[in-house]
Amino acid sequence: MSKLSADEAAGNYVSGNNMMKLLVSSSSLSSSSSSPSSNGGNGSSGSSNRALVAKKFLKVTLLFAAATVCCFGFYNSVYTSGFLLRSSYDYALSGTRTTKVEDLLDTVLKNASMKNKTIIVTTLNDAWAEPNSIFDSFLESFEIGSNTKWLLKHLVVICLDKKAYARCLASHPHCYQLYTQGANFTSEAAFMSSKYLDMMWRRIQFLSSILDRGYNFVFTDTDIMWLRNPFPRFYPDADFQIACDYFIGDSYSMKNFPNGGFTYVKSNNRTIQFYKFWYFSRKAYPKMHDQDVLNEIKFDPFLTQIGLKMRFLDTLYFGGFCQASKDFNQVCTMHANCCVGLENKVNDLKILLKVWRKYMSLPPNATATPQLSWTVPQNCRMRNSAILDITGKRINVRTTLVFMAAAAVAGCFIVYNFVYPTGFRYDGLAPYLPSCKTTTPPLKQASTLGNQLEDIDPLDKVLKNACMMNKTVIITTLNDAWAEPNSIFDLFLESFNIGSNTKWLLKHLLVICVDQTAYARCLASHPHCYLLYTQGANFTGEVFYLTPDYLQMMWRRTQILSSILDKGYNFVFTDTDIMWLRDPFPHFYPDADFQIATDKFLRDSYSFKNPPNCGFVNVKSNDRTIGFYKFWYLSKNTYPKTNEQDVLNRIKFDPFIAKIGLKVRFLDTKYFSGFCDPSKDVNQVCTMHANCCIGLENKVNDLKALLQVWKKYMSSPRNATGTSQALWTVPQKYCRYILSISYESSSLSSVALLSTIVCILRDLVRYDALAVAPHLPSCRATTSSQQANELEDMDPLDKALKYMHEEQNGQNNYVE
């Protein structure tokens, strides 16, 4: 239904006072018509009155109808798609509750994809979707191109606002509305404005999610005209291919000038990691858009480590206004790059298509004559032709202007800070970029709309119930083997009850259970339990060390902790074989983002030479830790068949950690102790970890003995004065044998020999399901940053033999 015009609305308008008069008049006329007239007649006069009443009644009816239409028009002006016909995809959300609702995006992708799961993707907002604007020219290019029309059925248009979505549905079958909380991408975004940056990074995030779903894609800006089928010109062996503003003649050279407006990406582990690394690198390079950040990270060693195969596309085939293709018989796409302003782009693209039609009208076997050439850019010519030649290097005006603007901003910043020293305080990006905490588009959550309206995510609910006022929770993981009566979990809870000022912490403890049996036992003894489901995995019993099940379990834990950071919660993660003897919070470093316990503390909390123990960490939720945890998790693909603690030992020296500004501290074993390096001061110790101890039975035995010592200490009168001299009687049995290994250089020969024997028998040893700490010490020898690269891929047995050889040559090496 169309809206009323302004004139129609004005013609039907009746004020409130006139309306009252009309009603009163109608009422009085009705009364008079029901009684005889003063002259005693009721014939023609009565008929006339009744006709007048009918006329007035009709006016009132029309008045209400006009008001209704006006309200309808107003509603549609505010909620553009309120009464529009829905696309066939919209009905995916309106199924019955007994039918599983198919995800809207999955439906669009499935319907648009080729047989090899490849799609073409573009983005669209209201400004570019206007009639006779960019989007119309874009679609037209497919229609008039050479062997391109069939590609339209594989084109997915990602709409950034409701108006663009409505206009897309009117002209194309595969449209998807991308929701971004708190953002408005409707109008034209000025280059490098905050709105522009948000839109560019939202695009990268969304493309990353498409790779996660297993789809290959060609991403194309909407101001790129498709003149020929480009697929025959792509490199078959490349993972990531990107167009260039300027191509220097070598498709492998990182010196090419990439343009993120046209990319061909295959979905695999390498590209999935790369896109996530690209997206999180925006924190290392704030206030830069995706293309400039790509120029920075394309030299990063991380790309070499993951084995990404990158190629740059030749402008002979993939041209643009920056560097146009000279060969009409070869060109596949033409991009309106090096051109500022929507009006200029529209004008020049229309001229470009006119030239292309002229070329296509030539006889089939004819080649383009010398007289036939691009007559564009025109409005964009000044920008395109203005190239500066500085010391032999061609630098376009865009780069120069951006540099000049950056210099001006920097000058203002210095002056402002000189006048107002506290003028610019950086509080991080999180409050301003809501989308940075998820790689899954919010609309994906709408795919299970029926269920979510009835049931809030159980994890959100349990986190909310367990967290402290500052959104901090204590987290542990539990499986059936450790949840048995009189086993590890009972001792873990007991330590909170008998510790010094620790009992109150139980109400902030969240137990993440990895199987149904552990979940049932947790519910029987603790209020905050959550069942973590991992498809195709069974973490119920014990598993072999470094088997696929063991590694999957460790990495699943890192993944769930990453998701908790995404939700804005700080956490203290603790293994269940750690006894909480005192409140640890006073001993955490207030300025650190990521704090981790150590097996052996080297007296410097900043030193990366400390051997970390992932069984106890304190992490604040912010952009730095969110990026770090995702980087850590993705690094499992770089170091396959390696657990998360060993991977942490390798990536802690990666320059990415310094780039994002992560503040890392290592916790002193004086307060956060364990069987590897027991605290000597019972009056200071906060936690004791059954690390450097193999086997569930050994752990249970020694932890019971530890709690007996602690109870005796707590009952001592001298405890109140902090002068108690209680001594640990643990570790015992096999744990004592591990602990008795000296770290002094004089005993390194026996250590190396023991290391060799233990490493040979490593695969015969069974480890407890959730024990991160009890790794064979010598198989995780900590090296310096210079040694890390040399030893990172060395077999544990080779490492042990290397230590033995070095010790015989008088070298003093630390063996964990």
326-356 confidence digits (pLDDT tens) = 889 999 999 999 988 888 999 999 999 999 9
Residue with tokens 């949840």: 483
Provide φ and ψ at 428, rounded to 5°.
Answer: 90, 170
pLDDT beyond 50 at 704: yes
pTM above 0.75?
no
CB 596 within 8 A of CB 617: yes
Structural domains in the chain (count) = 4
DSSP letters along 246-315, please?
A: E--S-TT-TTSEEEEEEEEE--SHHHHHHHHHHHHGGGTSTT--HHHHHHHHTT-HHHHHHT--EEE--T
Higher pLDDT, 734 or 47: 734
Q: Read off the pLDDT of residues 505-556 as tens digits, 9 standing for 90 and up.
A: 999 999 999 888 888 889 889 999 998 876 555 555 545 445 676 677 788 8
pLDDT band at 218 (very low <50, low <70, confident <90, very high): very high
Both tokens of 530, joined, read: 């959550």
Residue span of the structural domain in which 144 resides: 89-313
pLDDT band at 465 (very low <50, low <70, confident <90, very high): very high
Please tell me whether residues 496 and 560 are part of one structural domain: yes
Q: Does residue 236 lie in a domain region?
A: yes
Q: Read off the pLDDT of residues 592-607 as tens digits, 9 standing for 90 and up.
A: 999 999 999 999 999 9
- Tell me the sheet residues that pair with 122: 157
Residue with tokens 């060993």: 646
Give me the pLDDT at residue 269, please.
Answer: 93
pLDDT band at 377 (very low <50, low <70, confident <90, very high): confident
Q: Read off the pLDDT of residues 52-83 as tens digits, 9 standing for 90 and up.
A: 556 666 666 677 666 666 555 544 444 433 33
Give me the pLDDT at residue 29, please.
Answer: 34
Please tell me whether residues 483 and 606 are part of one structural domain: yes
Give me the pLDDT at residue 57, please.
Answer: 62
Give me the pLDDT at residue 554, please.
Answer: 81
Domain boundary among 298, 313, 328: 313
Higher pLDDT, 641 or 364: 641
Higher pLDDT, 670 or 26: 670
Give me the pLDDT at residue 201, please.
Answer: 85
User: What is residue 727's DSSP assignment?
Assistant: -
Please tell me whether residues 104 and 235 are part of one structural domain: yes
Q: How crowded is residue 229: how many other Cβ atoms within 10 Å of its Cβ?
A: 15
Please tell me whether residues 243 and 153 are part of one structural domain: yes
Q: Does residue 378 lie in a domain region?
A: no
Give me the pLDDT at residue 181, please.
Answer: 58
Measured between alpha carbons, how far is 683 from 668 in angstroms, rounded to an integer?
15
CB 185 within 8 A of CB 199: yes
pLDDT beyond 50 at 88: no
Give me the pLDDT at residue 379, please.
Answer: 79
- Tell me the sheet residues that pair with 220: 262
Give me the pLDDT at residue 11, please.
Answer: 40
Please tell me whether residues 263 and 172 are part of one structural domain: yes
Residues 6+ apart with CB under 8 A from 809: none
Measured between alpha carbons, how far is 605 from 608 in angstroms, rounded to an integer?
8
Both tokens of 518, joined, read: 């552990």
Give me the pLDDT at residue 473, please.
Answer: 98
Give me the pLDDT at residue 284, please.
Answer: 82
Question: The CATH number of the domain where 296 resides is what?
Answer: 3.90.550
Find, among 210, 183, 205, 182, the residue nearest to 196 by Cα.
183
- Tell me the sheet residues that pair with 674: 689
pLDDT beyond 50 at 711: yes
Measured between alpha carbons, how far is 371 from 387 in angstroms, rounded to an integer?
26
Helix (H) or strand (E) holding 417, with range, is: helix 397-419
Please tell me whether residues 462 and 575 are part of one structural domain: yes
Please tell me whether residues 614 and 641 are part of one structural domain: yes
Q: Does residue 783 lie in a domain region?
A: yes
pLDDT beyond 80 at 167: yes
Measured between alpha carbons, how far is 353 from 136 in angstroms, rounded to an integer?
12
Q: Cα separations (Å) of 776 from 139, 691, 736?
A: 62, 10, 14
Please tell me whether residues 603 and 573 are part of one structural domain: yes
Please tell me whether residues 741 and 639 are part of one structural domain: no
CB 360 within 8 A of CB 149: no
Q: Read off the pLDDT of residues 252-284 as tens digits, 9 standing for 90 and up.
A: 999 999 999 999 999 999 999 999 999 888 888
Measured between alpha carbons, how far is 508 from 488 in angstroms, rounded to an integer?
19
DSSP letters along 639-660, please?
A: STT--HHHHHHHHTT-HHHHHT
Give me the pLDDT at residue 26, please.
Answer: 38
pLDDT beyond 90 at 458: no
Q: Does residue 449 lie in a domain region?
A: no
Give me the pLDDT at residue 271, please.
Answer: 95
User: What is residue 501's DSSP assignment?
Assistant: T
Q: Does residue 323 lie in a domain region?
A: no
Give me the pLDDT at residue 540, please.
Answer: 52
Measured between alpha carbons, how far is 3 from 74 in angstroms, rounded to an integer?
8
pLDDT beyond 90 at 669: yes
**Residue 413 CA neighbour count, 13 Å, CB half:** 8
Please tell me whether residues 208 and 235 are part of one structural domain: yes
Give me the pLDDT at residue 539, please.
Answer: 53
Give me the pLDDT at residue 462, please.
Answer: 93
Find, among 629, 656, 498, the residue nearest to 561 by Cα.
629
How far, in whole angstroms, is CA 375 from its chain's centroid? 43
Measured between alpha carbons, how far is 167 from 131 in angstroms, rounded to an integer?
9
Please state the rounded mean pLDDT for residues 490-511.
96
Sheet of 333-335: strands edge to edge?
224-226, 333-335, 318-320
Please tell me whether residues 114 and 209 are part of one structural domain: yes
Q: Does residue 752 lie in a domain region?
A: yes
Give me the pLDDT at residue 566, please.
Answer: 92
Domain boundary among 18, 48, 78: 78
Q: How crowded is residue 496: how many other Cβ atoms within 10 Å of its Cβ?
A: 18
Q: Read off the pLDDT of residues 99-158 as tens digits, 9 standing for 90 and up.
A: 333 478 899 999 999 999 999 999 998 888 888 889 999 999 999 999 999 999 999 999
Q: Does residue 402 lie in a domain region?
A: no
DSSP letters along 507-547, please?
A: GGEEEEESSHHHHHHHHTT-S-EEEPP-TT---SS-EETTS
Q: Does residue 338 lie in a domain region?
A: no
Please tell me whether residues 35 and 114 are part of one structural domain: no
CB 628 within 8 A of CB 662: yes
Give me the pLDDT at residue 58, please.
Answer: 66
Helix (H) or strand (E) holding 579, with range, is: strand 578-580
pLDDT beyond 80 at 163: yes
Find, among 633, 656, 650, the residue nearest to 283 by Cα.
656
The SS3 of residue 388 is strand
How far, in whole angstroms, is CA 47 from its chain's centroid? 77
Both tokens of 501, joined, read: 């000022």
Lowest mean pLDDT among 124-138, 309-323, 755-769: 755-769
How far, in whole angstroms, is CA 549 from its chain's centroid? 26
Domain boundary among 247, 280, 313: 313
CB 107 within 8 A of CB 89: yes
Give me the chain's average pLDDT, please.
74
- Tell me the sheet residues that pair with 474: 509, 572
